Amino acid sequence: MTQLQIDGAHGEGGGQLVRTAVALAALTGKSIRIENIRARRDKPGLAAQHLTAVRAVATLCDADVSGLELRSQQIEFRPQALRGGEFCFDVGTAGSITLVLQAVLPALIAGREPAHVVVTGGTDVRWSPPVDYLREVMLPLIERMGPEVRLEVTRRGYYPRGGGEVAVSISPELLQPLQMADSGALQSLHARVHVSNLPLHIAERMRDSMTARLESVVEQAVEVEMLSFDREAAVGPGGAVVAWARTEHTVLGAGRVAERGIRAETLGDAVGRGLATDLAAGVTLDLHASDQLLVYFALARGPSVFTTHRLSSHAQTAMWLIEQFLPVQFEVRDTDELVTVTVQRQ
């Protein structure tokens, strides 16, 4: 079988390219060689969470993998048949659980066999979606395409220790397209704000600034769930604020993770402002969902349509990568206010 050559430095050139590439290899059965992995990063090559993601996908399809070591800039991935079952994956650090699941979920859904996956690592860490964004925004959108996906946060974990645990159960179905040319009427606004092993007032300040920003733009109250975890429910100190809006045709969301040196009010305001901007513009996918869902749209039987503010570098890279594996066409129409994307299998 011909081996597909992938330039890991193409476009955005980050870890998402690697995660998506091995997921696509697993679900298409194509062998790949990825070179120049994260070549333009300060610390090029594979980090711990990338290793876990590749190993996880390899386990799902009994792949033969070479070059898989810390800071490696080249790997070969030769998949076999995908399978369901029960799996456990440990990042071993505070590496992001949600980024590992970005690689695992498309492969498991394409495998068409029920599966249960437990991943340990960081639940809410910088440079990755908070786990509540995955649970309340991404998974409901995927479920609208047919599969049933349930996520349970067993334990929260943060930088630098990790130690969080998330369990996901998947009942695959053939993916159906999503037609989201407009968002439809706003139905409800929700938020989940949490802190672990930190004073509750930090969560309260995130909540207050988030709701103030949202409710100044949208004439609807935000239903907020406030959570405070102790040492039994969370490893280390941390927190996050995630808000989401359910509309007639979609789910929009925004989230930020608590960081040292950044005021709680700043984080909450950023989340409220981001979601309010999406609602005011009438987009059907927020910036993060618009790149993460592309692989699912490419697998669906029929054209999917969505609108967003702009195509991120992640999205543009994902489109290029998906076209290396699948007979799919991306049509992008850019107007002054929105970008409309149509994804169609050939």
Torsion of CA 309, 13, 98, 255, to 10 degrees: -30
Residue 190 annotated to the active site:
no
Q: Catalytic pick from 50, 194, 288, 314?
A: 314
* Distance of alpha carbon 322 from the chain centroid: 16
Q: For the chain, what is the HEC assignment?
A: CCCEEEECCCCCCCHHHHHHHHHHHHHHCCCEEEECCCCCCCCCCCCHHHHHHHHHHHHHHCCEEECCCCCCCCEEEECCCCCCEEEEEECCCCCEHHHHHHHHHHHHHHHCCCEEEEEEEECCCCCCCCHHHHHHHHHHHHHCCCCEEEEEEEEEEECCCECEEEEEEEECCCCCCCECCCCCCEEEEEEEEEEECCCHHHHHHHHHHHHHHHHCCCCCCEEEEEEEECCCCEECCEEEEEEEEEECCCEEEEEEECCCCCCHHHHHHHHHHHHHHHHHHCCCCCHHHHHHCHHHHHHCCCCEEEEECCCCHHHHHHHHHHHHHCCEEEEEEECCCCEEEEEEEC
| Residue 97 vs residues 102, 118, 324: alpha-carbon distances, Å | 9, 10, 27
Angle at the Cα of 186 from the Cα atoms of 305 and 302, rounded to 5 degrees: 20
* Distance of alpha carbon 273 from the chain centroid: 20
Integer Cα distance of 86 and 169 in angstroms: 9
Angle at the Cα of 201 from the Cα atoms of 273 and 216, rounded to 5 degrees: 25
Q: Which residues are catalytic?
A: 314
